[in-house]
Every structure is written in C-alpha cells, then in structure tokens.
A and B are shown apart, each in its own frame.
Chain A
C-alpha cells in the first residue's frame, strides 16, 4: 500500500514553483528588472553586502518586502481555508463564512477610525485590535452556537458565522460613514492592499504562520477524521471538542494577523484548497502543505496583476482575488455538478 502524506519530491516541486513565482513578482512591475540581477541583489543583501542604486532600492525596499508579505498572507489565508473546510466538513467554509474575517476587519477598522496605536510600532495597534476582535468574534460565534446546539455541530457554527458577518458588515458601514477624513484610508483598506508592506510586517506574518500554521499542519490526521464526519472522528478516538476549539482559535488568530496587515482579501481561503484538492485529493496530510504553497503562489500572481493591469495605477488586491476567485469557483462548481470534481 502506498504511503500517505506529502512526499519529498512534491515539497521540492511546490517550493521551486513558489520561488519562481516570487522571483517573477519581484522582477515585474512598472520598472522591469532582469531576473539574474534581481537574484544577485537579493543574494548580496542576504550576505550583508551593502548596495547602492535605484534598482537595488526598488528590489530591497519596495518589492521584496511586499512580495514576501503577499506570499505569507496567501499561504496563511489558504491554510486557514483548508483547515476550516475540513474541520467543518463544508467546502464553503473559510474565514469569511465563519465570521472571523469580518470580526478581524471590525477590530482593524475601529483601530484606524479611533487612532488606536502602540508607540514606536506602526500597525501594532491595528494588528492587536484585529487579532483581539477576531478571537472575540469567534468566542461570540461559539457561545451562540453552543446555546443553540450543545453538540457544537458544524452547520450551526457556519449559520451563526454568516449571521454574524452580516451584523458586522452593518457596523463597519456605520463606522465608515462616520469616519470623516479617514474615509479613504478605511475604504481602501477594506478592499485589501499590501502596498507599503515592510520586513517587520513579513516577520509578523512569518511568526504567526509558523506558530498557528504549525499547530494546524500538525493536526492533519484529526482534520481527515473531521472531514469524514464528527461521529466518525469521535469513534476513531479524536478529542472532538478540544481539536475543534484549537483549530478555530489558531485559524482566527492567523486571519487576524493577515487582516491587520493586508485588509480583507477574499476568496484565497475558499478557492485555493478547492483547486489543490483536485490535484492532491482530500487527505489533509497532502492537501495542507500544498495549500500553503498554492495560496502563496495564487496571491503573488493576483498581486502582480493588481500592480500591472492598470499601471502606473494599482488595483486593491482584494478586488483582483474576488474577480479571479469568483470566476474560478464558478468553473469548479460547474465541473463538480458534472461529476468531474473531487470535492
């Protein structure tokens, strides 16, 4: 019988595709840069060799931190989507359907509107508020779900999540309406953008991905059992309540960090696991690692489109992911109806 899990060759293939996309995205833009020169500049920077000139400044100060943030956000959001879809046994589950993204947005928008900040750490106020609000939202959603259904069934959680998202979008509209001179900042932010990202943002995203994403990847076997069914997961020995709570908390915290840095970026968490499930099958031991790489690639390409399609202007990345995501998702659903899709 063949081995389960992601094989070394698959890791190498996905990692190579991710690095290739990253290089392409750093090279391409309003000023096109040769790949070899770009890699040389990055290599020298890693070795600590000082560099001067406009090109190295574009690569190291503008494009590289942004592309890194985009890749890490894509990986994190797609991973959260894959985990939620397995956990709740529902291919339509992700941060947005669960209400967590809306909750994180509420916290971040409130921080921008009321000027919440942490001294010397730009964005730290927004990040803290987004994480806090995402986790608090999860608490509210779980408390309401528990009140309705003591067994914490997935359907109840998703239903409450959708209702909560609608409620939060009303509050967001209210905040935006009264935001005065911050209207433009908040509106642009809610559409999602990673323009002006820094290495500090990338470090925060990497740390969150390593901690929360690591915990989620570690529970691939449990997620397989959940994806088959809660009763089956309980029967084979999974601690259903503990694992569900742990996964939801990790996903909420990770989404909170992503939202605080890049705003609301829709469809990455929904579409990427769908596409990759066609390639790897539903086994989370293969699907989740593939989703991490796939999410990074998907969002880097979407960000590249956002930068070049109406250059020198730039589209919000959330607009691009929504347009691509809706089209891809429709194709997947139509294929699924014909019985061709795996999920």
Chain B
C-alpha cells in the first residue's frame, strides 16, 4: 500500500529523519515508537506532506508529492494528538469536513455524504453530541469527533499521532478499540506514533523503533521491542521499569 524510500527530513542544520525506508501493507497497524526527538512525528508529517523532505513516498505506486490534495485525502488521513480550534464548530460540522475530498468546488452535499456522516457519528458514539460545540466536550469526546471525521472521509490509510496520549484509560480503550474495528474491515492500514510501549505491543501488528532519526528496528512487536534494543535506545533498563509499572497489577 505505502512505500517509503530513503526518507529524510531536515529543519535547518538539524536532520531529524535520516534515510528511512519501509513499506506498509494492507491489514497492518505499524506502531512507530522511540524516545523524544527520535523523528517520529516528523516522519508522520512528511507522510502527510506537511513538511519538506527528500526521498520518495508512493501510495499504491503513485508519488504522493505529485498527488492532488483531494485524491491524497481519499488515500490517507491524519488524527492529530490534540485539537485546539479556537472556534466553536459543532461536532457535526467537524465530521462533515471529512467529506470535503468527495466534492469539487461546485458540487454540494448529497444523500451519500449525509449517510456517511450519520454512520461515522453512530460508529464513534458521537451522534448524540452532534449539535454540541467542540469547545464544550471532553478531550475524549473531541478525539472521537475527529475520528468520526476520518471515518466519514474513509481513507485507506490512517495516520495517528499519539491519538490516546492525553486521554484517560476509558477513552484510550474506546479510541484504540474503534481503530482496531476499522482496520478489521479489510483493505486498510494504520500507522501510529506511540509513546506507550505496552499499547504499541498490544495493538501493533508491527513496530518500528526510531532513534535519532534512524530506524533501529522494524518487525514483529516482540522482536522490535526486545529488552536489549529498548535498553540501548532509551539508555535505561526498560524491561525492569515496565515490570515495576505493570507487575503490580498481575499480583
């Protein structure tokens, strides 16, 4: 589905992603993890064409750089870590934006759009909130509203930038379960930046470990998150730390 070749991102003198190459196949949930400053979010921004980069990114054989934005939106969409619009759009208005790519400048909303929006609102449990301004709902509800926008947009590849990092456990579970369900529908893939190694291991079908802009490991979660690799990348005994954190719950 996605083919990335020798991807590099540079901010001035600082190279944050250094020649990364990888592919993503349909059905995969690729978790990109690593310490702060490893280049995870920059890699995601480059995939979304949000920052200048060198190298090649192809979606189903088509160069993303030369792809029209509307066409790109049918291929991939982004769920950001946090949204803070200063304006009080309603949940429904946010979700309707997901259908932007389905229209040219002159065509309006049709029945298919209305159905897609209603279905996305129902799937994410935000239908009852549809008239609420986004400034007056909780962080978890807001994240579900933007997930509903992505469901209405219905791209083949979801890019998630730490989608659950600031949510409580109940909302984390809701969001991750919704994404798992979406992925199971076939012909789709997910790439997420994820700091939480436990979540990366539990939900990812594949994990990419980044360190100082380089791919340190890319493979099955248990291999890419091996204690020796993690200790080297994070500069600490990650296994002992994780057992200390989570071991108490198994007693």
Measuring CB to CB, which residues of chain A are less than 8 angstroms from any residue of chain B? 1, 4, 86, 89-91, 150-151, 218, 221, 224-225, 227-229, 231-232, 234-240, 277, 281-283, 342-343
Contact = CB atoms under 8 A, between A and B. Distances in A.
A236 B100 contact: yes
Size bracket, chain B contacts = 35 or more
Interface in B72-95: 72-74, 77-78, 80, 83-90, 92-94
B98 interface: yes
B48 A228 contact: no
A283 B101 CA distance: 18
A224 B89 contact: yes
A234 B50 contact: yes
Contact of A225 (B86, B100, B150): B100
B69 A239 contact: yes
B4 to A, nearest CB: 18
B149 A282 contact: no
B99 to A, nearest CB: 8
B98 to A, nearest CB: 6
Contacts of B78: 231-232, 234-235
A76 B167 CA distance: 43
A228 B114 contact: no
A282 B74 CA distance: 26
A238 B52 contact: no
A228 B142 CA distance: 12
Given A225-B97, A228-B85, A235-B78, 18 more contacts: A1-B114, A91-B86, A151-B50, A218-B105, A221-B97, A224-B93, A231-B80, A232-B78, A232-B80, A234-B48, A236-B98, A236-B101, A237-B74, A238-B69, A281-B88, A282-B88, A342-B87, A343-B88
Interface of B: 48-52, 68-74, 77-78, 80, 83-90, 92-94, 96-98, 100-101, 105, 109, 114, 117-118, 130, 133, 146, 149-150, 153
Given A1-B117, A224-B97, A239-B69, A231 B48 contact: yes
18 contacts: A1-B118, A4-B109, A89-B87, A225-B97, A227-B87, A227-B89, A228-B83, A228-B85, A228-B87, A228-B97, A231-B50, A232-B78, A232-B146, A235-B77, A236-B153, A281-B90, A283-B93, A342-B88
A1 B126 CA distance: 13
Contacts of B68: 239
B199 to A, nearest CB: 22
A283 B95 CA distance: 13
Instruction: Among B96, B100, B133, find the residue whose CB has the most chain A CB atoms closer than 10 A.
Output: B100
Contacts of B90: 281
A343 B85 CA distance: 10
A281 B98 CA distance: 19
B32 to A, nearest CB: 17
B73 A236 contact: yes
Contacts of A281: 88-90, 133
A232 B83 contact: yes
A236 B117 CA distance: 14
A228 B89 contact: yes
Instruction: Among A1, A236, A283, find the residue whose CB has the most chain B CB atoms closer than 10 A.
Output: A236
A47 B73 CA distance: 53
B96 A4 contact: yes
Contacts of B93: 4, 224, 283
